[in-house]
Structure 1
Amino acid sequence: MTTEGAVHVIDDRTLELGEGPSYDPLTDKAYWFDILGMTLYEMDCQTDAVTPHPLPRMASEIAGIDQERQIIAMEDGFYFRDRESGDLKPHVPLEADDPNTRSNDGGVHPSGALWIGTMSKHGAREAGAIYHYRAGVVTQLYDKISIPNGICFSSDGVTGYFCDTVVNKLMRVALDPQTGMPTSEPELFFDQTGGKGVLDGAVLAEDGNLWIACWGGANVLVLSPDGTVVRELAVPTRQPTCPAFIGRNAERLLVTTAWEHMSPERRSIDAKAGMTFVLDPGVRGRHPAPVLVA
């Protein structure tokens, strides 16, 4: 592991589209993806040893179910993943009839619901959507989304957040804490228009502040519960994608990054593009709930 100030390179593989970091409290392991590289990365948080797992198709989100299984969102649906063998079993389709879309950002609500976004593989505007999955049922929540991101939830489950990176505005919505379903229309929480970079993946800390990566901004912004920027953490590469609190005490912040869309010249300047980092945030996060599948 190499160090640059308070930011540590936890894995120096340069991923085209590092995304979807998460933590599994059952096993004390962190996970993330190279979506375009069709690979799942697994890190033992005791040793920081990283193991890659090739996948048969693009995937972007993984979460725990129980001691034996995980659920993984892939480009054509949800799959069960056997923890020991890594074997995948189809569970529920997700836009499986549209070969032009794939899954993107997601997050687990305290009720065990999983929100997942979809988007065009080819950059088409408003080709995606955001869905709610719980107990085997998939419900579309919002359509005409270009790049769904920023999906995260308050610890009491009464508030959800999401954004369309193309629009560059983070939205807040009231939720039923028992189901994770919206109970009102979304409202503007934070407007990054004209700011440094565009809004990408997000996570909430134990203190209620929201940590959100800014693609193109080389930073992670920290927003207070009223939407005020209270901190800005530099990341030593231009395109951070998503943060996640990891570790038994949720005391470390893992940040994925990407080199997607960079020219060879840009990549030669931005040598750490696509590497995976860990920051010391000075605050604790919280562990995700297991996903309810039945």
Structure 2
Amino acid sequence: MTAEVFDDRRNILGEGPLWHPRLERLFWFDIMGKRLFSRAGGDRQEWAFDRHVSAAGWVDDSTLLLATERDLISFDILTGASDVIVPLEADNPVTRSNDGRADPNGGFWIGTMGRMADAGAGTIYRYYRGEIRPLYDGITIPNAICFTPDGRQACFADTDKRLVWRVALDEDGWPRGEPEIYLDHRAAGINPDGAVIDADGCFVCAEWGGWRVGRYDRGGNLVEEFSVPVEQASCPALADGILYVTTARQGLPEDRIDAQPQAGMTFRIETGMTGQQEHQVIL
């Protein structure tokens, strides 16, 4: 299970890979480069924005919901047209969007964070049926937003705290009760970044600074790890037995970038794991 380069465009901060189940195409972002990328086979696409973009959900065969530093927008990949759906901390210049994912009920969870990773500046929101509501605040680096196959639980992390929580969801997909700690990496020094939950219910998480993606069972035990040839794995996506991994070169000293010429590229690993189909966002 060797990691191979899927796309050699070197992102500053690659993030938010989304496998579109109808188009059979991978979308992902360079947050700091203000870019959305896409690839299917040899067909590569790229879109530039005037602000940071970080996460997406699919609406239909030509429309994505995108999280930007100040709003959620609908974006037409054929024409490049966009429309604002709801503001997202538009009046707060300190923050930008970060990790996000569509939920099983057609909603969309999105985290914000300080542009300088300001302590506790972030919040996780849920957009659902035209309304956006805050769920959890005081988060420094929100990540690992994902959902169990039965739709009854959500996971999320604060990379800065090295903790991953899970919380029960009601029938409409809203949190029910208090989150509980699922993974506590404080002693191990592991930094949980983006994550997905596979069809078996295992938590598959990119580990920033760890040169790998870890796979954990429902009890929080590490059952498998997938190495990547760069230090900063940022987020995974799963499709057809293939694990896609975005990476970053942001913050690496020059000598470490020289030692990792593939830092920022997007990788693929044939794992045989079955992923959940990414959920459709209902606007």
Global fold match (TM > 0.5) = yes
Looking at structure 2, the residues matched to 135 and 86 of structure 1 have their Cα atoms a distance apart, in angstroms, of 24
Q: Report the aligned-residue RMSD.
A: 1.2
Deviation at 1:113, TM superposition (A): 1.1
Confirm or deny that 1:266 pairs with 2:266. no
Asked if 1:35 corresponds to 2:25, the answer is no
Q: 1:125-163: per-residue Cα shift (whole Å, max 9, x none)?
A: 100100011111101000011000011001111011001
Match of 1:84 among 34, 53, 78: 78
Equivalent position SS for 2:256 = helix
Counterpart position of 1:216: 209
Residue 67 of structure 1: how far off its partner (Å): 3.4
The equivalent position to 1:113 in structure 2, one of 96, 107, 111, is 107
CA contact (8 A) 2:56 2:101 kept: no
Partners of 1:85 and 1:197 in 2: CA distance: 41
Residue 99 of structure 1 and its aligned partner are, at CA, apart by 1.4
1:244 to 237, 243, 246: 237
Residues 49-77 of structure 1 deviation map (CA, whole Å, 9 limit, x = unaligned): 32211112101111111234221010001
Q: CA deviation at 1:34?
A: 0.2
- In the alignment, the residues of structure 2 paired with residue 22 and residue 132 of structure 1 have an alpha-carbon distance, to the nearest angstrom, of 18
- Deviation (angstroms), 1:251: 1.9
Matched, 1:278 2:271: no
Question: Using the alignment, how far apart are the partners of 1:207 and 1:270 within structure 2?
Answer: 33
Is the partner of 1:266 in helix, strand or coil? helix
Alignment map for 1:87-106 (pairs within 5 Å): 87-106=81-100
Residue 48 of structure 2 is aligned to residue 58 of structure 1: no
**CA contact 2:206–2:212 (8 Å) conserved in 1:** yes
Check conservation: 1:236, 1:272, Cα contact below 8 A: yes
Structure 2 stretches lacking a partner, 5+ long: none
How far apart in 2 are the matches of 1:13 and 1:49? Answer: 13
Which residue of 2 is the match for residue 73 of structure 1?
67
Higher mean C-alpha displacement, 24-33 vs 162-171: 24-33
Give the match's secondary structure for 2:4.
strand
**What is the DSSP-based 3-state SS (H/G/I as helix, E as strand, rest coil) of the residue aligned with 2:264?**
coil
Q: AA paired with 1:136?
A: G
**How far off is 1:273 after superposition?**
0.9
Give 1:123 deviation, angstroms: 2.2
Structure 1 residues 156-235: aligned runs within 5 Å: 156-176=150-170, 178-195=171-188, 197-235=190-228
Does residue 8 of structure 2 align to residue 12 of structure 1?
yes
Alignment pair present for 1:155 and 2:155: no
What is the TM-score normalised by the length of structure 1?
0.93
8 A contact 1:196–1:216 mirrored in 2: no
Read off the aligned partner of 1:169 and give its amino acid letter: L
Measure, in 2, the Cα distance between the counterparts of 1:209 and 1:48. 31
Paired AA for residue 235 in structure 1: V
**Residue 196 (structure 1) shift:** 5.3
| Equivalent residue letter for 1:226 | G
Deviation at 1:48, TM superposition (A): 4.3
Equivalent-residue separation in structure 1 for 2:28 and 2:199 (angstroms): 21
- The runs of at least 4 aligned residues of structure 1 exceeding 6 Å deviation read none
SS in 1 for 2:178: coil
Q: Secondary structure at the match of 1:227?
A: coil
Amino acid at match of 1:256: T
Deviations along 1:149-194, one digit per CA (max 9) or x if unpaired, are 0110011110110010000011110011x32210010001111113
Percentage identity across paired residues of the two chains: 39
Unaligned stretches of 5+ residues in structure 1: none
* 3-state secondary structure, aligned to 1:183: strand
